[in-house]
Chain A
Amino acid sequence: MSDDRTITPLPTGLWSQPTVDTSAVADALDGTETVQRVRQPASIRYDFVPGVATTRFLKGLANKQIFGERDPLTGDVYVPPRGVCPVSAQPTTEQVELSHKGSVSSFCVVHIGFGTNAPPTPFCSALILLDGAVISLYGPIQEIPYDQVRIGMRVEAVWADDADLSPSFESIKWWRPIDEPDVAAETLKGHM
C-alpha cells in the first residue's frame, strides 16, 4: 500500500450518533407527536411460472399420480422435481411414477401454524421419503395422535376427493400410517 494518508484524530464523540432529544422538536411543533411510523401499503401482482418439471409433477397430482424425475448421470429420482438434479446440475428429463408410500425421515409437532392451509394445531409436519426417491417431501401426518409419530414410520398419501383433485399439492390431503414395520432410521440419513 503506497497510500499513506493519515487518519484524522477526532475529538471524542464528534462522530458518535448523538442521543436525540426530541423535546425541542416537540416544542417547536407545539406538542405535535413525532412521526414514528409511515404506513404504506404496496401491492405488486406477479404471475408465477412453475417451470417444465413442476408442471409435469402438478399435472400428475391432478390424476392421483406422483411423478419424480431421474437424473441421467446418477440415476437418482427427485420429487418434487425442479427440472435440474442439484448434484449433477443436469436436466432431469425422465419421468418416474413413484409409489404413494414412504417413510417418515423426520418431523416436528407444530403448535403454531402459518398460512391458510394449515391443519388445526397441534399437528405433525413431516418429511416423507417416498419409496424410490432420494429426498423427502413435506406433508402433514393425520389419522394418528401427533405424539405417536416416529422417525422411520411407514405412511401413505391420502388423496382429496376426485372432485377436488387439482394440479396442486393440495391434491394430497395428508399422509397416514400404514401397517408396515418401521424402517431403520439410519437408512434415512442423507435423504431428508
Chain B
Amino acid sequence: MAGGSAGSRDVAIVSVAQSTHERAKVATNEVELIQPVIQQALEQIGATIADIGFVCSGSTDYLAGQAFSFVMTLDAVGAWPPIAESHVEMDGAWALYEAWVKIQAGHADTALVFSYGKSSPGDLPNVLSRQLDPYYYQPLWPSSVGLAGIQARAMIDGGAITERRMAEIAYASRTAAANNPFAQLRSSAAVDDLLAEPYLSDPLRRHDCAPISDGGVAVVLATGDAAARWADRPAWIRGIDHRVDGHNFGARDLTVAPSAALAGQRAGVGDDKVDVAELHAPFTHQHQMLVDAFGLGDGTDVNPSGGALAANPMMAAGLLRLGEVAGRIMSGAADRGVAHATSGHLLQQNLVAVLEGA
C-alpha cells in the first residue's frame, strides 16, 4: 500500500527533552512537571508554539486519579491563540504516531508531542489492574507484577530465558544508566548478588521489575525545510507501525509478542543493520522477548539509556525510547536505530519505529 508504515513524506525527530525520573515528584503537579520539558524541547531549536502545526499528548486519567487530567496540562503548551491539538489516552509514542499521521496527511509540517506520568499518587500495580477485562480479570485485582510473573514463568519453562539471564539484563540496564543523568536507577549489584535476593512474585525478583517513576518527555517532529532549519542531523522516521494482540491471556502464547514482531517487520527493522535499539520492556524477561522478536544481534547496542528498567514513567516511557534513539542519531553516535513502545499488560500492544540519520 502506498504510504503504509514508511509514509510518503520524510518526517524527523528534531528535538528531544525529558525530565529527571524519580519515584515521586511530590512538589510539582503534572503541569509544573511537564512545562519545563516542553519549553526546553522548543527553546533548544529556537522554536515557539507558533512554529508548531500540530500538538499531541499522551497521558491517562487513572494515573492522575482525575477525570480530564490532560485538560490542565494544556496550560503548559500556551494554547493561545488556539492551536491544532489532540490527545491519546495512551503512551506518548502513540501520540507521536498520531502526529506523524497528521503530517503524512498534509495537515501539518511540524508537531510537538509530549507525554508524562505521575504514578506516585496511587498504588501502581493496583491501578494497572483496572486495565483488564472488567468481568473476568478486574474482580481478582491481579497486580501487574503478578501477571508478568506468569509470563516469565512460561518463558523459563519454555527454555526461552533463565533467571540468571534475567538478572544479567537487569545488571546491564542499570549499569548502562550510569551514563543517563535522567534515569532513576543508575547502578546495580552484581548478578550473583541479585540472584541471592528473595522473589517478589516468583520467578520475578525486585530487580526484574521496572521502577515506579514520575516523569515526562517532549519531542518535536518536522518535515522538509523545518527539519533542516532545526537540526543539523535530524533523526528521520523511516518506518513506524503499531499492532495489538488479544487480551485473553489464557488464549495466547504468552512467551511471544506477535504484535511486536509484526510491527517491527512492517517498520523495516530487519532491512538493515541496527546500531542502537531502545526497547520498552518493564520486566527483564520482556526485554529478551523483544530482542528475539526483532532479531537483534550482537552488533546492536540495546538500551544504552538503561531502558524502562532504569526509569519507567508510565505513558512517557515509550515516547522516551523514541527520544533516546533520536538523540543518539542526532548526535552522530548512531546511524540507524530502533525504538519500541508498549501499552497494556504483558506487551499486549506494541509500536516500533526505525530512525535513521540519513
Contact = CB atoms under 8 A, between A and B. Distances in A.
Interface of A: 1-3, 38, 40, 42, 44-54, 82-91
Interface of B: 1-2, 25-29, 31-32, 35-36, 38-39, 49, 65-66, 72, 74-80, 118, 120-123, 126-127, 130, 134-135, 138-139
Contacts of B127: 44
A23 B79 CA distance: 56
Contact of B77 (A1, A51, A89): A89
A40 B28 contact: no
Contacts, number: 84
Contact of B32 (A3, A44, A45, A52): A52
Nearest to B1: A3
Contacts of B1: 1-3
Contact of B121 (A49, A52, A54): A49
Contact of B2 (A2, A38, A83): A2
20 contacts: A3-B1, A40-B139, A44-B65, A45-B123, A46-B65, A47-B121, A49-B25, A49-B28, A49-B29, A51-B29, A83-B28, A83-B29, A83-B32, A84-B31, A84-B75, A85-B75, A86-B79, A87-B80, A90-B39, A91-B32
A142 to B, nearest CB: 29
Contacts of A53: 32
A84 B29 CA distance: 11
Contacts of A44: 65, 122-123, 126-127, 130
A35 to B, nearest CB: 10
A153 to B, nearest CB: 28
B27 A52 contact: yes
A146 B66 CA distance: 32
A84 B130 contact: no
B28 A46 contact: no
Contacts of B49: 89
Contact residues of B: prevailing secondary structure: loop
A89 B35 contact: yes
Interface of A, secondary structure class, is: loop
B74 A51 contact: no
A40 B137 CA distance: 12
A46 B28 CA distance: 15
A86 B38 CA distance: 13
A38 B135 contact: yes
A2 B2 CA distance: 7
Contacts of B122: 44-47
A99 to B, nearest CB: 24
A156 B38 CA distance: 38
A42 B2 CA distance: 47
A92 to B, nearest CB: 10
Contacts of A52: 27-29, 32
A44 to B, nearest CB: 6
Contacts of A86: 74-75, 78-80
Nearest 3 CB-CB pairings of A with B: A51-B29, A89-B78, A46-B65
